[in-house]
Amino acid sequence: MATLTVWEFDTADGAQNALTTLERLQKEELIRVVDVAVVTWPADRKKPRTQDAVTDRVVENFRGTRAELISTNLSADQEAKLREAFEDADHAPV
């Protein structure tokens, strides 16, 4: 059964450091990470910045393959974001 956790850090790079730690622990097969989203709010920004680590890695690994998403069980909003990410990846230099 999956468990949802939400963490807050007192440093600007705390979330990124936690992601690195989670990735290491998963490689050591101590935990299983299903999905990760990192939200940061730089002091000079009006709104937070989000990063979906899993989507970013999937898109990165499919870059240049010209893959087309046919069907998902994602919400309409999630699917639209994924399609947009793949479209951007297809037009990025390899």
User: Which residue type does 41 have?
Assistant: W
First to last CA, the chain: 38
Q: Residue 55 has what pLDDT?
A: 66
2-32 confidence digits (pLDDT tens) = 777 788 888 878 888 888 888 888 899 998 8
Residue 65, both tokens: 């393959």
Domain layout of the chain by residue ranges: 14-90
